[in-house]
Amino acid sequence: MSNLQNRPLKVLLPAKPADDLANVTRLLRAALPADRTHVRRFYVHRPVESNFFLPGTATRLRDIPRLEFEAEIATRAESEREMEGLADAGFEVSADIVRGTPAEEILREASLWRADLVAVRTRSASVTDNRVGNMASALIHHATCPVLTYLAVPAGYRLRRVLIPVDFSRASRATVPWGLALADLAGAEAVLLHVIGRWVGPHGIDTHDLVDVAREELDRWRSEAQSAARPPTQARVITAETPAEGIVALAEEDGYDLVVLSATGVSAVRAALVGSNARQVLRTARTPVLVVPTSNRVAVEDFLARAREAAPARPPAAESFAVPV
């Protein structure tokens, strides 16, 4: 066994003090082998800044570093206690606190620590609309590893069905092995999906022709994936108002437990104006989503080889194939 395979999987977990970790604990237990995974909680503390001066401020400024240091010590202890649930589940755990700007420090640490995944909540529990948090947005476009996003993970959550949307772009092609890898680890069914947006109609393109072409292309992609330990069992083509709407609707209607997609695809140019498909999916999906950034440096083969060191044997995948429209 190589030294690389001896290295555990590394999951960086950005979380604030007192954040409820029950959701991410259920998600990680379902997706990864606990005895081969190190989960590192990471909190970035913003230093105190002041742009004004009042009489007496100079004497109080000397106390600020001491107070910040004491607060960091207390926060570190609290963070370690809150990781007990993950430790009880069999994960190796640790907690760190640094000072700086959260997004910059987390991106830097993910790279320096050579994280295999970053697990991040898409938005705070206090946010009631469908905005994607600034942290999640920065990570899905700039992280050097895949980003596992979640909002609410129900009790008894299991990874049984993995949906892998593809738009036939180069970025999209890189996501398929990641979807298959996680499906293999969990013994889940993997399904390829292509969504045809209804906006193409007014441009004189026959939707039926597009469906036929997409079926043929998906069939080729599925054939290429047959060498995987758990190849796709289905390839589906559907139509929707937008690809993101189709992905979210199908994931909820058919009970998928995870969606795996790229941060950018053929719609990357339009993303500057209307937001990428990944951002739109994250805004509305209740299902956890794994996003593979274009800046990803983690080799899925390495990830899977190390995870399999402790993963139990899985039954062979079903061989059925259907392309409903």
DSSP 285: -
Kindly report the number of other CB atoms within 10 A of residue 5's CB atom.
13
List, for residues 208-265, the tens digit of each pLDDT value: 778 888 888 888 888 888 777 778 888 899 989 889 999 999 999 999 999 999 987 5
Of the ranges 40-49, 66-75, 135-144, 313-322, the best mean pLDDT one: 135-144
Rounded to the nearest angstrom, the gap between the alpha carbon of residue 158 and the centroid of all alpha carbons in its chain is 16
CA distances (Å), origin 294, targets 6, 167, 269, 282: 27, 15, 14, 17
Half-sphere exposure of 94 (CA within 13 A, CB side): 9
110 domain residue, yes or no: yes
- Which helix (H) or strand (E) element contains residue 147? strand 147-150
323 domain residue, yes or no: no
Confidence of residue 98 (pLDDT cuts 50, 70, 90): confident
273 domain residue, yes or no: yes
Domain tally for the chain?
A: 1
Half-sphere exposure of 264 (CA within 13 A, CB side): 15
Q: What percent of the chain has pLDDT over 90?
A: 45
321 domain residue, yes or no: no
319 domain residue, yes or no: no
Q: How confident is the model at residue 273, as a pLDDT?
A: 36
Confidence of residue 57 (pLDDT cuts 50, 70, 90): low
CATH number reported for the structural domain that contains residue 31 in this entry: 3.40.50.12370
206 domain residue, yes or no: yes
320 domain residue, yes or no: no
Does the structure show a pLDDT above 60 at 56?
Answer: no
279 domain residue, yes or no: yes
Distance CA 58, CA 222 (A): 67
Structural domain range at position 50: 3-307
Q: How confident is the model at residue 203, as a pLDDT?
A: 53
